[in-house]
Structure 1
Amino acid sequence: MKIRYWLLMLGLLGSSPLATAQASRTLDSLLTYLRMHPATDTTYLKVMDKVAIELIYKKADYARADSLSRQMAEVASKAGNWTKLVAAHRNRAAINLLKADYEQAMVFFQKTLETAEQHNLPRQLIYGAMCNLIIGHDKLQHNEEVIQLATRAIEYQERYQLKPRSPLPPRLIGEALVRLGRQQQAIPYYQQAGAIFRELGDERGTAIFENQTGDFYLELKQPQPALAHFRQSLQLAERLQFELLQADALDGVANALRLLKRPAEAMPYAHRALAIAQKQDNKLGTSTSYGTMGQLYQAQLDYPNAETYLKKAIALAEKNGYKDDLKRYTQALADLFAEQNKYQQAYVVQLKNNKLTDSTTAVRTNAEVQRLLAKYEADKRETQIRLLQNERQLQQQEADRTRWQRNALLAGGALLVLLGAATTAWLLNRARVRRLQEAQQIRKQIAHDLHDEVGSTLSSISLLSGMVNDLIAQKRPESAERAIQKINTDARQILEAIDEIIWTINPGNDSLQRVALRLKEYAQPLMESKNIAFSLVDDPGLDHLPISMDVRRNLYLVAKEAINNLIKYSEATQATMRFEHQNNQLKVVIEDNGRGFDVNQASLRTGQQSMRDRASAMGGSLTVQSAVGSGTKLELVVGQ
């Protein structure tokens, strides 16, 4: 349940969410106030904020909280109340963070900081917005960004002597360093965070920090010290009557004991955590407790109860959109079935988990690969520019020496030449070493992300292989043949995924001509299979027009999605794709003469929102023109 106490840190933008909720009137009385008063004054906005916080942190009613926060943002904007506009963005970020939609959470975290800085809000508020943005980077595991922004936040705090000091930036720097494999460098930052908590005399913050430290040791696969920190957190939380953190600490104790092979001892802690979550009507906590209990029953080989609780966790997570819990416990259920040699059931559940992974983790890790590579290319260009500047400076200095010291001794001139050459060689060598180190780091990152990309599909292949052996032993050759065909299909999908990643990162493909060619190779056989006459028209100048890796990848995925929709739904007999470049704009047009659809109504064609998001990410726009019986025209415009 780690994500819940992360959100306690969002109180940096104002008062603590839990403290505010506890000090407020009941939710019913707050809702009555909103119904009875006009949406105009500051008090109304304060009440809206309190209701949203109650719905988020105590009721886990994210749909209502998000709707209310949208209204709050509109009212605050009209009233010019920028502080409450920041609070509305913060609430929407918290909702997406709890739902594990980290990309969308980052959008609102960025808005909080931009709004605070644009309107010169109090420095403490700006600092809090920085900290919240660091949390977003942390959840996306943008380790370098975490370290850079957290360091900036610490410097900002010290420059303006903001009090009280916050332990969040050093704490997150420590966690980022751990993820980078630099555990020893992380320790001083953890110690600094602990010292700040003690300096503040903040028992609540100390209790949260102890819980986080327990998770730190769990991630390092060290359950014994983790258990000690969870117990300390639990003791403080019980003294403070801090029930939300009690549930987190109890769950932590249970998981530490499970890893220590003491599941029977762990079970009472898991039951207590579940009781608190149910008492608070906290659906996220309930889902997590169900999952923990399922894993504890599995550790005791009580498979029926393990299956029951894991299915409860999955159902609750699926109903409420808790993506992390849903993926975690779906995989746990597949592992449970495999442990019992129930390969058919394991395979079905594994397929479900694969779809979840494909729709979230794989997309995010691919995006991270592209981000890292783009960052590497930018840094490489900057290094080359600096080297050229240094070389020009050295050449100019040498020319000046030649002009003003024409009569200098030959030995002195030779010495200067040697010194310049040595300096240039040293600079070039240092830059070369740096580029090699960066390339090595990116290679490691790509290897890691490729592992994530294909891991779930390989799990399916492994389970199917186990099924084949059983089916052969049962003399069921037809079923065995179908399983083998599925293994072949999954293997081809892995090869296609890897081929697509390799094509994306290959610098030889950095031109629009290469994008057009690959799309034609992709579309042509699909069109022929549906008897669609297909043509591709491109501008001859595309061959010499460079394109960044990020734009190239998004452009390719948008066009590929459009082609898939055309093949599936259009019933067309003719289709055209055009690439045009004029007025510093790239235009991609895909047209068909198919049955069309009503663009104002929900369509069977999938991925339109995803395509628009990708177009927006490129700084472009996507328009779709269609009508029933009149074909469809999709137009993507990107500035160059």
Structure 2
Amino acid sequence: MAQTYLRLVLLLSFAGCITSVTGQTIPQQLDSLDQYLRTHTPTDTSYVRALNRTAWKLLFERADYTRVDSLLDHSEALAKKFDWWLGLATCYNNRATRYHLSAEHRRSLLYFQKAVEVTEQYNLPKDQLYAYLGNVAVAQGKLGQWEPMMQTALRAIRLQEQYKLQPRYANTYMAVADALKKLGKARQALPYARLALAIDQQSGNKQNESVDENKLGNLYDDLGQAREALNHYRASLKIAQAIGFELLQTDGLVNIARMLDDLKQPAAGLPYVQKALLLARKQDNKEAMSTAYNTISQLYQSLHDTTQAEAYLKKALALANTLQDKEKIKTYSQELADLYAGQNKYKEAYAFQLQKNQLIDSTVTVRTNAEVQRLLARYETDKKEAQIRLLQKEKQLQQKEADRARWQANALLTGAVLLLLLGAAVTAWLLNRAKLRRLQEAQRLRKRIAHDLHDEVGSTLSSISLLSGMTDKLLTDNRPETAHRMVQKIYTDARQILEAMDEIIWTINPGNDSLQRIALRLQEYARPLMESKEIRFLFAIDPDLENMPVSMEVRRNLYLIGKEAINNLVKYSEATQATVRFERRNDQLTVLIEDNGRGFDPALPSLRTGQQSMQDRAKAMGGNLTIRSAPGQGTTLQLTTEVA
């Protein structure tokens, strides 16, 4: 819902860019513009102006994207023919705006950047460059590129301050605030949000002022300052009501209700959110209706009315399913699971918990519990040493018997006895060596199992034990609601243990000692994740590798690297196509995982997780991992290792 009214604010800057480059002789109305284009010959820049203005008017008055594309193609060709770079920059800005309105944000960013490049290359007016930079920041925000968005907006602000450009665009300052908020730096975002508010107050733009107040409320909300957030939400609502800005009224009413709930006044919040629900129904805004239903459910939970809470939460989930909003579906499913668990309805709770878990795109991470590992290693070491001492004693006894027999034997049998003793010694040594090797191999396997398993088994079971004890105490203290949440956490932890156990058992199973098994396992893991994100997925394995055996160490690290890479691809890349290939190159295994997503700069701190873990695993298996990527150019991960 916030994105909708934010777009309305930002389009004011787009319109400013067009007005600044249009001539006075070009008609203003769409019908007159159509007549002008039909009756004039494209012989000078006036015709390019008319094309650009007509495209702009069509965008907002008729949303006729097909004709807009045709007009802008013509405008771009003529602007280049006449070497009129101001018209070309305007054309690129119009095309970017067209893609912005149709939610094609990658293409929108590309053309906003082209507008900036032309403006800089041909030294066009600085106020136009200032506005275009603000548009680039908006497009980067739509793609979740928060760090680049902040840097672009700050560059625009520095340009404005250097050349004293007017008017100042409040949305540029708010873009910095939005980026900092998304980066978890709400406190640093506050000064920029306040500046944006001051600019809109000075210009008298009440719609923007209402949005700014709401955003300031969001920031204080993130900082846990409910009372300060409530003051800004009330100010936003007051302005929105005065100007009839119903979309923001709906958002403000819900936010006020949430803050009153945080301030332990849920009953006072109900009238606000019920009014928000009426406005959302009037607008037929299903997203806003879903949010309002969820907020009403939270208020009724605070009022201990579980019947009403359950009814409204189910309505919220039904709308989220209609909208196919996966984030809301996950959130509402989890809330229903918690609500049912609090009522001892564990069957219903499990159903919604399972529904939520099926939507989670993350890998279960197996970590090491050092204390448990050390205890198991000490036990196994003591056991091994005892067995070695026993073997040594047996060998000593055998040697003594052999010596006694040698001295008692007669001369005729000396050679035979010596030969037999030699054979016995060699046999005993080989047997001892084989037994010792088996013990050492068993020891390494046990240590590996301890390394992969005991954090999940040790720490999670310890957590379950602790929660069980707390549950008994909470029940004794007559706190059944809290005890029920503890029970919910216990069976969630137990399911995680089962998932981890299944993965570890697969890893150590000798029947999986082939690259074909690893590839099939990764394919089974990746395919549903790719389908959930509508990513075209290709999985290929070199036939020469299908029956090649691999050690447990290589198999384990190769599988975990593949899972981590696939998980990061699905979560962060925004790709439409991905490929996983297993190839044999120069007697080495090469695994390639590629996507055509948004990419990133490997030299900068990454928002993705697990890269260092993948590098460590590659080194542990004697391999080499390289990651090639650049913003907007996708990502390629290449792992090479010896397997034979």
**Aligned residue for 1:76?**
72
Report the Cα offset of residue 251 of structure 1. Answer: 1.2
The secondary structure found in structure 2 opposite 1:578 is: strand
Q: Secondary structure at the match of 2:545?
A: strand
The 3 A distance-change label for structure 1 pair 519 and 230 is farther
Q: Which amino acid aligns with 1:247?
A: T
- Could you tell me which residue of structure 1 aligns to residue 545 of structure 2? 536
Letter in 2 for 1:76: L
Deviations 1:215-269 (A, max 9, x none): 1111112211111111111111111111111111111111111211222211111
Counterpart check, 1:489 vs 2:498? yes
Match of 1:328 among 320, 326, 331: 331
The answer as to 2:262 corresponding to 1:279 is no
Aligned to 1:204: 207
Deviations 1:391-423 (A, max 9, x none): xxxxxxxxxxxxxxxxxxxxxxxxxxxxxxxxx
Report the alpha carbon displacement of residue 615 of structure 1 after superposing the two structures with TM.
Answer: 11
1:112–1:129 CA contact under 8 A, matched in 2: no
Q: CA RMSD in A?
A: 5.2
- In 1, Cα distance between equivalents of 2:61 and 2:253: 28
CA distance in 1, matches of 2:159, 2:568: 44
CA pair 249-525 structure 1, distance change in 2 beyond 3 A: closer
Inter-CA distance 579–320: structure 2 relative to 1 (3 Å threshold) = same
The 5-angstrom pairing of residues 8-407 of structure 1 reads 8-15=8-15, 45-46=55-56, 48-50=58-60, 69=65, 72-73=68-69, 76-77=72-73, 79-80=75-76, 83=90, 86-87=93-94, 89-90=96-97, 92-93=99-100, 96=103, 105=105, 107-120=106-119, 126-135=129-138, 144-174=147-177, 176-177=179-180, 185-358=188-361, 362=362
Q: Whose Rg is larger?
A: 2
Rounded to whole Å, the distance in 2 between the matches of 1:255 and 1:558 is 34
Distance 1:155 1:255, change over 3 A: same
- The separation in 1 between residues aligned to 2:261 and 2:126, in whole angstroms, is 45
Normalised to the residue count of structure 1, the TM-score between the two structures is 0.51
| Distance in 2, Cα, partners of 1:229 & 1:127 | 29
Report if the CA contact (8 A) 1:524-1:534 is conserved. no
- Distance in 2, Cα, partners of 1:235 & 1:261: 23
User: 1:448-505 CA distances to partner (integer Å, 9 max, x unpaired)?
Assistant: xxxxxx9xxx9xx98xx99xx99xxxxxxxxxxx999844333348989xx9xxxxxx
* Matching residue's letter, 1:4: T
- Alignment-mate amino acid for residue 282 of structure 2: K
- CA displacement at 1:136 relative to structure 2: 5.6
- TM-score, length basis structure 2: 0.50
How far apart, CA to CA, are the structure 1 residues paired with 2:62 and 2:358? 32
**1:165-189 per-position Cα deviation (integer Å, ceiling 9, x unaligned):** 1223433434555666666544433
1:523 matches 2:519: yes
User: Is the 1:537–1:577 Cα contact (8 Å) retained in structure 2?
Assistant: no
Q: Which amino acid counterpart does residue 497 of structure 2 have in structure 1?
A: N
DSSP-derived class of the 1:164 partner: coil
Q: Would you say the 8 A contact 1:109–1:129 is kept in 2?
A: no
Give the AA of the match of 1:113: F
Matched AA of 1:207: S
- What do the CA deviations read for 1:585-639 (whole angstroms, capped 9, x no partner)? x9979xxxxxxxxxxxxxxxxxxxx96536998679xxxxxxxxxxxxxxx999x
Amino acid at match of 1:523: A
Question: Deviation of residue 46 (structure 1)?
Answer: 4.1
| Cα-to-partner distance string for 1:573-594 (whole Å, 9 max, x where unaligned) | xxx942448xxxx9979xxxxx
- Number of residue pairs matched by the alignment: 400
- What is the CA–CA distance in structure 2 between the aligned matches of 1:495 and 1:134, rounded to whole Å? 45
- Identity within the alignment, %: 31
Deviation per residue, 1:254-292 (Å, 9 max, x gap) = 111121122221111111111112212222222222222
Which residue of structure 2 lines up, in the alignment, with residue 449 of structure 1? none
**Is contact 2:294-2:313 (8 Å) kept?**
yes
Cα gap change, 1:615/1:90 in structure 2, threshold over 3 Å: closer, same or farther? closer
CA distance in 2, matches of 1:171, 1:230: 17
Structure 1 portions without partners, runs of 5+: 17-29, 54-67, 97-103, 367-453, 471-481, 500-516, 539-551, 562-575, 590-609, 621-635
Aligned partners of 1:171 and 1:190 also within 8 Å: yes
**Which runs of 5 or more structure 2 residues have no equivalent in the other structure?**
17-29, 39-49, 77-87, 366-455, 473-490, 508-512, 524-540, 548-560, 571-580, 601-627, 631-635, 639-644
Checking the alignment, whether the CA contact within 8 Å between 2:193 and 2:212 is kept in structure 1 is no
Which shifted more, 145-154 or 71-80? 71-80
**Mapped contact 2:13–2:169 kept (Cα < 8 A):** no
Whole-Å separation in 1 of the counterparts to 2:294 and 2:241? 23
